[in-house]
Amino acid sequence: MEAEAQARLLLQEAQESIEAARSYRRELEQRLRGLHQAREQIRESATLTRDVLEQHFSDLKGTLKKLLDERLMSLLQEVDAIEQESIKPLDECQKLIEHGVSTADDLLREGESAVHGDVGQQNEKLCSFTNKALHIQLDSLPEVPSLVDVPCLSAQLDDCLLTILKNQIFRHGTVASRPPVQLEEFVEKPGGILVRWCKVDDDFVPQDYRLQYRKSSASHFEDVYVGSETEFIVLHIDPNVDYQFRVCARGDGRQEWSPWSVPQTGRTTLVPHEWTAGLEGYSLSSRRNIALRNDSQSCGVLYSKAPTYFCGQTLTFRIETVGQPDRRDSLGLCVEQQNGYDSLQRDKAVCISTNGAVFVNGKEMTNQLPAVTSGSTVTFDMEVVPLGPSSNEGGTSKLRVTISSNNREVVFDWVLDQCCVSLYFGCSFSYPGWKVLVF
């Protein structure tokens, strides 16, 4: 019985090692695919750069053939040098991976032979195989660079060369191993994605950036932002759908745009914020993220369709147009929908009025923010604060609330008599003309 138990144990260990070897081999194959993509990017961009350089210089050869030929050779050699220098470490990494694949294959064959071999020698083979498998680092995988980290060659050229003096020809054209800006981060937002990018070329002085996006199933990119900021919230994003983004920059005093960054994929899993439809007094956009106070005499609080705000997120109201202000106007968050109120200046709610007054559970705070105007953004940030064991604040949960508007903010603790996983947002305006976007 003891011998049978030992044999079963050895068999189990061998099978686990075989599965580990299979997993190891799959990871290696995935890294080989990554190497292939990196190599293809280098070669394709190098080929494209050569084509651009050759075509550009070919147009000028009739007038300045000798000078252009010398410069062309110099640039092509630079492309070749960058390509060879960039691919060399990839080739070395591939050799390492292929060696690992060979080792995994040998280990798999030995393991399968031990498992299915002669019964009389099975224990000895299983024990030998298991010991061998333990000495091989099946979880040690070589690092394969991402496409952003490997060169993507391009050429920057000036079409007005014929008007430039002879001594400037030798400075004409450069070869860039990668674009001067790259996408840096995607942050999920309800119905949107916050895209951040950064400059990766220390010598490049950007004047403007240009961000484009498309659904992964689409064939063409479209502009979504042009400006000097290094981040932008792209709205009207469908949840759980992949989108591709790319960015480029324009150098200080230049007219042409730089090469595009390596396209990257982003998505959001957060459903978009929506206002509740059907409330008399408010007209909604097709996506229900913009509410307009219309001319109806009906007055009340417009709530969100669902409690879609969660602690740790940032809720933003952007005032698109303004109407006549009233001290009972409100923008804010609440624990639950309560009909019959004309404002969020009530219990179980925090809000800001259009005059900048801040209310907590219906009571006005001493601190006040600037009055909201057309184009103003009001943001709410909340985080859960643990209640101490000896707390006498009279509640069961406490939220630290930060309300920001026009570069000023107020911070306070909001004590509630119930735990809130999510909150509703809402607004109320006494007079028509107010239009507010929520995201």
pLDDT tens for 375-410 read 999 999 999 988 766 555 555 789 999 999 999 999
The answer to whether 377 and 316 have CB atoms below 8 angstroms apart is yes
Q: Give residue 162's pLDDT band: very low, low, confident or very high (50, 70, 90).
A: low
Question: What percentage of the chain carries pLDDT values higher than 90?
Answer: 47
Task: Look up residue 209 and give its two tokens.
Answer: 């950036």
Chain segment 65-90, per-residue pLDDT in tens: 777 778 778 989 999 998 899 888 88
pLDDT tens sequence across 86-96: 888 888 888 88
pLDDT at 199 over 80: yes
- Tokens read off for 352: 């800001």
- The secondary structure of 238-278, three-state, reads CCCCCEEEEEEEEECCCCCECCCCCCEEECCCCCCCCECCC
Query: In this structure, are strands 330-334 and 222-227 parallel, antiparallel, or unpaired?
Result: unpaired
Please check whether residue 364 is in contact with residue 340, taking contact to mean a CB–CB distance below 8 angstroms.
no
Task: Find the angle CA(156)-CA(158)-CA(161) to the nearest 5 degrees.
Answer: 140
Query: How many other C-beta atoms are found inside a 10 Å radius of the C-beta of residue 142?
Result: 16
pLDDT at 248: 95
Instruction: Find out whether 372 and 405 touch, Cβ atoms under 8 Å.
Output: yes
Write the burial class of residue 65 (CB in 10 Å: 0-12 exposed, 13-18 middle, 19+ buried).
Answer: exposed
Selected residue with higher pLDDT from 215 and 387: 215
Residue 37: band (very low, low, confident or very high) from pLDDT cuts 50, 70, 90: confident
Q: pLDDT: is 150 or 226 the higher one?
A: 226
**What local confidence, expressed as pLDDT, does residue 405 receive?**
95
Mean pLDDT calculated for residue range 270-277: 92
Going by pLDDT thresholds of 50, 70 and 90, the confidence category of residue 144 is confident
Tokens of 215: 């659904």
Task: Report yes or no: 292 and 302 within 8 Å, Cβ to Cβ.
Answer: no
Which residues, in sequence order, are CB contacts of 184 under 8 Å at separation 6+?
Answer: 196, 197, 198
pLDDT band at 298 (very low <50, low <70, confident <90, very high): confident
Mean of the pLDDT values across residues 275-290?
Answer: 93
**pLDDT at position 231 over 60:** yes
Average pLDDT over residues 254-262: 90
Return the pLDDT at 148.
85
Residue 42 CA, distance from chain mean position: 24
* Polymer length in residues for the chain: 439
Report which of residues 274 and 147 the model is more confident about: 274
Strand 422-428 and strand 309-310: the pairing is: antiparallel
**Mind listing the domains of the chain with CATH numbers?**
16-171 (no CATH), 181-268 (2.60.40.10), 282-438 (2.60.120.920)
**Strand 222-227 relative to strand 264-266, pairing:** unpaired
pLDDT given for residue 127 in this prediction: 77
CA distances in angstroms from 346 to 145, 158, 313, 364, 424, listed in the order given: 55, 65, 23, 10, 14
Average pLDDT, rounded, for the chain:
87
Backbone torsion region of residue 44, taken as left when φ is above 0, otherwise alpha when ψ lies between -120 and 50, otherwise beta: alpha
Task: Name the pTM for this structure.
Answer: 0.56
Amino acid symbol at 353: S
Positive or negative: CA dihedral 364, 365, 371, 376: negative
Q: Determine the pLDDT at residue 417.
A: 85
Residue 196 has pLDDT above 60, yes or no: yes
Q: Which of 119-128, 159-168, 219-228, 321-330 has the lowest mean pLDDT?
A: 159-168
Using one digit for the tens of pLDDT, what is the confidence trace for 334-381?
A: 999 998 899 999 999 999 999 999 999 999 999 999 999 999 999 999
Nearest to 240 by CA among 263, 218, 265: 265
8 A C-beta contact, residue 45 and residue 177: no
Phi (first) and psi of residue 226, to 5 degrees: -135, 120
Range 262-266 average pLDDT: 93
Taking each helix axis from N to C end, the angle separating 122-135 and 2-116, rounded to the nearest 10 degrees, works out to: 70
Measured between alpha carbons, how far is 337 from 351 in angstroms, rounded to an integer?
14
In 3D, which of 133, 150, 141, 145 has the Cα closest to residue 82?
Answer: 150
Look at residue 138 in the predicted model and tell me its pLDDT: 66
Q: What is d(CA 289, CA 41) in angstroms, rounded to the nearest whole number? A: 40
On the CB side of 96, CA atoms within 13 Å amount to: 13
Least confident of 5-14, 110-119, 351-360, 388-397: 388-397
Span 235-260, average pLDDT:
92
- How many angstroms separate the CA atoms of 386 and 392, rounded? 13
Judged by DSSP in three states, 370 sits in coil
Rounded CA-CA distance 313/123 in Å is 58
Residue 122: the pLDDT is 66
Torsion of CA 365, 370, 374, 378, to 10 degrees: -50
Q: Rounded CA gap, 365 and 412, in Å?
A: 10
pLDDT above 80 (res 175): no
Q: How far is CA 50 from CA 256, 261, 308, in A?
A: 20, 19, 52
Distance CA 7, CA 1 (A): 10
What's the pLDDT score for residue 117?
67
What is the rounded CA–CA span in Å between residue 222 and residue 228?
18
pLDDT greater at residue 19 or residue 104: 19
